[in-house]
Amino acid sequence: LKALEERLRNQKLARRIVEKIHKLAPVAVQRIGQTPIKIMDFCGTHEYTVTHYGIRSLMPPEVEIVAGPGCPVCITPAYYIDIAIKLSMEGIRVYTYGDAYRLPGSGKRGRDIRSLEEARAAGGDVIVVYSILDAIRMARRDKKPSLFLAVGFETTVPATASPVVAGLVPNNLKIMNIHRLTPPIMRFAFETHKDNPIRGVIAPGHVSTVIGVKSWKFVVDEYGIPTVVAGFEPIDVLLAILEILRQHIEGRPRIVNEYKRVATWEGNIRAQRIMSECCEEIDAAWRGIGFVPRSGLAFRDKYSHVDAFKQYGIKELTPDEWKYDLPPGCRCAEVTLGIVKPTDCPHFMKTCTPGTPYGPCMVSSEGACAVWARFGGGG
Ligand code: SF4
């Protein structure tokens, strides 16, 4: 593993790939008649690699890398955080992952408490866990009425669904299933860039291990965009960019799996079965963006006994009720859709910092604003 890691961070190799990118980029621009060639790195971890290793600063002017909506915490609507805060103050124990713990809600409920972290400081019952299994173990032990905040993309859904399907969730623990699905939001992102289209996608490696490389076929078939499922080391990302340019020059967009060491065409069939046994697709809200068709999951009726919406009488958000849920001036929705850069936000590193996040993209380690704050934007 160490040898593989060294190879994927090898500076000489990186330099050679960057040279090729510089050579091919003007040819690709000539071929497609668009400059710069806009490439979306969908996943928050890819944005981390791009920024941490200064990959943007190594690119020729013909290549622009934009961040994508691949941070599940950033896009979790404030509505659900408000509800979790309220329940935590009313005697329901809330179990949450660490990165959602500091996620701001709207601040309109629970005595202007903005996050679960603040709720806990004000006496709310909130516990940070590493996994749903921790929540199950503690709920069994403490017998308290509890809620698990199930946030995440397809990578985390099987972990939530497995104990539900296996009947391991105790009666006193209910789950707020607010998982989101990545292919529908990618489609949505393409539509928002229609006037200045995305011309390459670095597709998420982790998500692809679950749903399969096949899930991105629509990107090529319907939009004609070169797509590379890539790993998270700098060489992975550089190779993905080079491949996208090559495809433009050849005039033959296709899907390439650069992350063969982990992801397969079909993905994890067993995980997919558990997900579909447990959950069904629903139209769902994304923070600052609104409702995206079939982009969320809800428990199937046979699992309604674990469903916090049904068991705690929580109303699901509807498109009519959804309200713009970012704080004034926060440009998080545009950041996550790759329309603006974090530095375009007037709050960036002024009223919004990793220590005092004002908007959701500054909270999670995968949020583009938090990544740019730590590593300076990467050129
Ligand atoms: Fe939102 Fe803060 Fe990012 Fe601005 S810097 S877009 S306020 S998270």
Banded model confidence at residue 379, pLDDT cuts 50, 70, 90: low
pLDDT at 14: 94
Q: What pLDDT digit, counting tens, does each position of 258-308 carry?
A: 999 999 999 999 999 999 999 999 999 999 999 999 999 999 999 999 999
Q: What whole-number distance in Å separates Cα of residue 151 and Cα of residue 134? A: 15
Residue 349 CB burial class (10 angstroms; 0-12, 13-18, ≥19) = middle
pLDDT at 110: 46
Cβ proximity of 237 and 47 under 8 Å: no
| Residue 95, ligand 1, Cβ within 6 A | no
Q: What whole-number distance in Å separates Cα of residue 126 and Cα of residue 366? A: 22
> Which atom of ligand 1 has the smallest separation from the CA of 373?
5
3-class DSSP state of 284:
strand
Cβ proximity of 88 and 124 under 8 Å: yes
3-class DSSP state of 77:
coil
> Which protein residue's CA is at the shortest distance from atom 5 of ligand 1?
348
* Whether complex ipTM tops 0.85: yes
pLDDT over 50 (residue 123): yes
| Residue 330, ligand 1, Cβ within 6 A | yes
| Residue 306, ligand 1, Cβ within 6 A | no
Residue 272, C-beta contacts closer than 8 angstroms, at least 6 positions apart = 210, 211, 212
Stretch 140-168: mean pLDDT: 97
| Residue 361, ligand 1, Cβ within 6 A | yes
3-class DSSP state of 325:
coil
Cα(246) to centroid of ligand 1, in Å? 35
**Angle, vertex CA 194, rays to CA 377 and CA 253, nearest 5:** 85
Q: What pLDDT digit, counting tens, does each position of 36-74 carry?
A: 999 999 988 999 999 999 999 999 999 999 999 989 999
| DSSP-assigned states of every residue in 116-185 | HHHHHHTT--EEE-SSHHHHHHHHHHH---EEEEE---TTTHHHHHHHHHTT-S-TTEEEEE--B-HHHH
Radius of gyration in angstroms for the set of CA atoms belonging to the chain, rounded to a whole number: 21
